[in-house]
Each structure stands twice: as C-alpha cells, then as structure tokens.
Amino acid sequence: MAGKLFGLGVGPGDPWLLTLKAKKILDEVDVIAYPVKEKGEKSTALHIIKEVIDLKGREIAEIIFRMDRSLEKREQCRREAADQLMRILDTGKNVAMITLGDTAIYSTYTYVHQMIKKAGYETEITAGISSFSGGAAMAEISLVEGNEGLGVVSSLKGRENLEKALDCFENLVLMKAGSSMELIREVLSERGLLDHAMVFSNIGLCDEYIGALDMERQYGYFTTIIVKRNGLF
C-alpha cells in the first residue's frame, strides 16, 4: 500500500511558530522532504524545523524543483518533483513535505500536491503562519481592521500593478519585493506613504531586518513590505 503525502507550512522563520499539528506529523512520518532549486542547496525550511524536531536518525529527502523562465519547462520540473515524491510514496512510506510560510500562499508545493492527489495518493495539507502574519505580529501592528480590505501581491510586475493594488485596498502586502524596491520607494513617496510602510527582510536568518524602507540596505528575495494607507499604528 502506498504511503500518504503530508504538505505542511513551517511558518516564516521562528521554529516556535510551527503548529502543534505540523510538529506531530513531522515527529511521526517516515520521511521528511524539503524543496531545493539545485542539488545540495541549503534549505531555510529544514533549518527552521531543526530546533523543535529531532532529526537524528530520520530519513530526509531533498526534492529538486528547478526554476525556469519558461512555463513549459517549469511544469516539466514540477512533474519531475512529483515523480520523485511518488517513488518514495510507492515504497509505502509516509512523507511530509515542508514549505516556508503557508502552503496556500505562493507555494510551489501546491503544484505537486494537485498532481499527486490526482494520481490517486492519499494527501493532507496543514496550514502554516504566513510571512505577513508573522511579520505583523513581530512589529505589533495589524494587517487589516474594521471596514478595510487587504491586498497581497508578489513579485510586482511594474508600476501599474502596484498602483492598482494601492487604489483598491487600504492595506497591502508586497511579497518577494527585493527586486522592486526602487519602484516601491518611488510610488510610495509620490503618495506620501513612505512612513506608512514597514519592511521585513530575511526573517529568522542572521541578517534579519524589520524597519523603515531604507534604500541604503541590500534586500534579498524574501523581502516583504506591509503598507497601511491609514497609518502603521
């Protein structure tokens, strides 16, 4: 009989933000799997769980999700990752695949999950704390209140994308913002919103930064910005 696939979010960085359910599953499954872009790459998700899950003697599997600009090739890569997981499940072992933040929010895990579920395997997903919920708690601010709305966008596709989102909702979360920092600064400055933004960069890592949009800094891929038109506090 084939094993069961568990997909689970490990939260934004603090190992103590794992849910009780995620810990229970990780303590019990036969194999813990984690995604990497290239063989041998370090995994932030694996680094996060180490503090609260005893990995000694555990079977760990590296699942390769190659990134490619072409959608066709990305889909091929996802099929290969799903195949890799199904080969483990076919040996009868239960597998927990870990992913940063929440499984439902910009997670590559979604794609392999649907493929493996459609192939007839038993599956279960456990939600994790998203980077923006974790960031808001650290900064002791709210994301959305009362009659307001909240918009979440990732990897901005130009000025129009950002302006439309800012027009539509009082609160905005900009994920994977590292490569659009100049555009974001420009648009927020034009709207007088620079003091309404808080940056969360490399949370849980040694160069973690939480604070104002400071253009003197370097920002990595995992940079999230929260913008609140009605003020941060």
Nearest approach, Cβ of residue 114 and a copy of itself (Å):
6
DSSP one-letter code for 212:
S
By residue count, the chain amounts to 233
Helix axes 159-168, 181-190, angle to 10 degrees: 50
Strands 123-126 and 5-9 turn out to be: parallel
Size of the site for a copy of itself (CB under 8 A): 59
Does residue 219 contact residue 201 with C-beta atoms inside 8 Å? yes
Among 31, 96, 136, 188, binds a copy of itself (CB under 8 A): 136
Nearest approach, Cβ of residue 143 and a copy of itself (Å):
4
CA distance 202 to 207: 6
Among 31, 98, 105, 181, binds a copy of itself (CB under 8 A): 105
20 binds a copy of itself (CB under 8 A): yes
The 46-85 contact track toward a copy of itself, x by CB under 8 A, reads ------x---------------------------------
Q: Which residues pair with 228 in a beta bridge?
A: 171
SS3 97: strand
CA distance 128 to 10: 6
Q: Which residues contact residue 94 at a Cβ distance below 8 angstroms, ignoring those fewer than 6 apart?
A: 3, 4, 5, 6, 28, 29, 30, 31
> What single-letter amino acid sits at 140?
E
The stretch among 62-70, 104-112, 186-194, 208-216 that binds a copy of itself (CB under 8 A) is: 104-112
168 binds a copy of itself (CB under 8 A): yes
Closest to a copy of itself by CB, 9 or 35: 9
Nearest approach, Cβ of residue 13 and a copy of itself (Å):
11
106 binds a copy of itself (CB under 8 A): yes
Binding stretches for a copy of itself (CB under 8 A) = 9, 11, 14-21, 23-24, 52, 102-107, 110-111, 113-114, 117, 123-130, 132-134, 136-138, 140-147, 149-155, 157, 164-165, 168-169, 233
